[in-house]
Structure 1
Amino acid sequence: NEDLEITKAISDLAPYPSRHRPQMVCPVSKDATEDLQGATNPSKAPALVEQHLLPADQAHVRNQMAKYRVPQRSGDIVMIQSEHTGAIDVLSADLESADLLGDHRRVSPPLMAPPCIWTFAKVKEFKSKLGKEKNSRLVVKRGEVVTIRVPTHPEGKRVCWEFATDDYDIGFGVYFDWTPVTSTDITVQVSDSSEEEDEEEEEEEEIEEPVPVGDVERGSRSSLRGRYGEVMPVYRRDSHRDVQAGSHDYPGEGIYLLKFDNSYSLLRNKTLYFHIYYTS
């Protein structure tokens, strides 16, 4: 009875045709009509074939996506809403200069070329010579880390170092700070431990998960690896037996950090003799 009533209602509308009334078209007859039009109009044939290659859902999605345009000019924005939190992020069209990762995720520094290192046995002659020169000898106290900051020189292409100690070994490593050089003066920084030194270096920066400091005998693992370029990790060197020497080509403008680590020693101070210079 319901089917008969619906059929009757539709038949009652038939005497009043209108060109604006929605037409009920069978999908089969519609496809057949489009095929016939494509055969008679060659210019629309490629579009017709492309539609047949895509499922109906994919074609619908593609048609919807075609309504949106990618931002091209400065000032255009893209708004992205999270499905979980509902938060909305606004991204600028200037993607190259935008900090998309935030301040807490920084780009890692480029890898450093390995240094050239060697030793020579004339320890007594080396210490006797430097003992007479000014600012070539210092004492690294127990539990301390001494950092010698050596800026790159405009006339130089390579930094060189030589050092030795009295009676006991010492930890040594080299890092590179990618920062503009305002002065070519060599400065010395002393901290009570490698952990405190890292805190001083990062006091103006927030670190969510600081990297723990490792054993100097196995190579120090500090937060300096994430901020600075690592030329050579901190290891204990037999500087009381042989003069430790090395060099490294400038990777660019910046400041070398030569670290003498005595943080592992609880009782002994280390007398350090060092010579740092540049070559062209």
Structure 2
Amino acid sequence: MENAETSELQSRLSSLSVSSFPGITSETCDTNPSDRLQSSDPSQSVARPENQSEMDGNNTAPAQSTEEPVADAAESPESSSSHPGEKKALPALAAATTWTSPELKELKLKLRQEKDSMVTVYRGDIMTIHVPTVPEAQRICWEFATDGYDIGFGIYFDWSPVTSRAITVHISESRPVVPGDVEKGSKGSASNSNLGEILPVYRQDSHLLVQGGSHQFPGEGTYLIKFDNSYSLWRNKTLYYRVYYSA
């Protein structure tokens, strides 16, 4: 049964090529895009259009900021201890740099022309992109937008040693990988002892503004970039995105 579900999910994203993802190249990340992008302000949120109507769970809650304080090691579910068999605390992760841009049309037009940069995240699904760190780069960068409706977005870091440099996509259908309320910020799964949180999953107004950001490699590991549509009962989301490395 599990193999059948996997086959069905993979067929949904048959246009995605694991070996050729949009923007997974080495280039300079625009960490201070003052001429093009607007720095996001955690104290402000973009108002949703009054005529927007979507059968999503808790869709009346205000948009949440993606800027989250760095989790203190003491708050980690894994506490350091000298007792054998007990888990050790994960290293602290620096906060991500995030920004927004009003250039929705420009980004969508550009990404429509790039292979695999435009995908559908189906209702109830979570799409997770696994991007390993590479010696040639120092940062990971992203930009994304959607048509018509918002989408949940979050980033985590798996400290497990990198055994492959392949970029992979995983789909969770109606079984959220990241439990919790997307409006309140879903947390990473505690079942993965090597998983650290960079940005919890929040619903982003990516249909109103381009959402962008970057994060400096904390060490060797793999980024888990999540696009979450698990809260939507009826709406599939058209997603335009690019993820790339920066020296």
Give the structure-1-normalised TM-score.
0.56
- Which structure would you say has the larger RCO, counting Cα contacts within 8 Å and 6 or more residues apart? 2
1:160 equivalent in alignment to 2:141: yes
CA–CA distance in structure 1, aligned partners of residues 91 and 236 of structure 2: 35
Which residue number in structure 2 is paired with residue 229 of structure 1?
A: 196
Partner of 2:155: 174
Uncovered stretches (5+) of structure 2, i.e. residues with no partner: 1-80
Give the length in aligned residue pairs.
166
Aligned residue for 1:214? 180
Question: Does the alignment pair 1:109 with 2:109?
Answer: no
Q: Which residue of 1 aligns with 2:172?
A: 191
Q: TM-score, normalised by structure 2?
A: 0.63
Task: Kindly indicate which of the two structures has a greater share of residues assigned to helix.
Answer: 1
Q: Distance in 1 between matches of 2:100 and 2:158?
A: 26
Identity fraction in percent: 56
Question: Can you give the 5+ residue segments of structure 1 that lack an aligned partner in the other structure?
Answer: 1-97, 199-212
The 8 Å contact of residues 111 and 230 in structure 1, kept in 2 or not, is answered as no
Q: Which structure 1 residue ranges, 4+ long, deviate > 6 Å from structure 2?
A: none
The offset of 1:135, in angstroms, is 1.5
Aligned-residue RMSD, C-alpha: 1.9
The aligned residue for residue 137 of structure 1 is 118
Larger radius of gyration: 1
Asked whether the 8 Å contact 1:147–1:259 carries over to 2, the reply is yes
Matches within 5 A, 1:1-280: 100-102=83-85, 105-195=86-176, 197=177, 213-224=179-190, 227=193, 228-280=195-247
Q: Which amino acid aligns with 1:146?
A: M
Q: Deviations over 1:16-36 (max 9, x none)?
A: xxxxxxxxxxxxxxxxxxxxx
CA deviations over 1:170-191 (Å, ceiling 9, x no partner): 0000000012223322111101
Equivalent residue letter for 1:134:
K
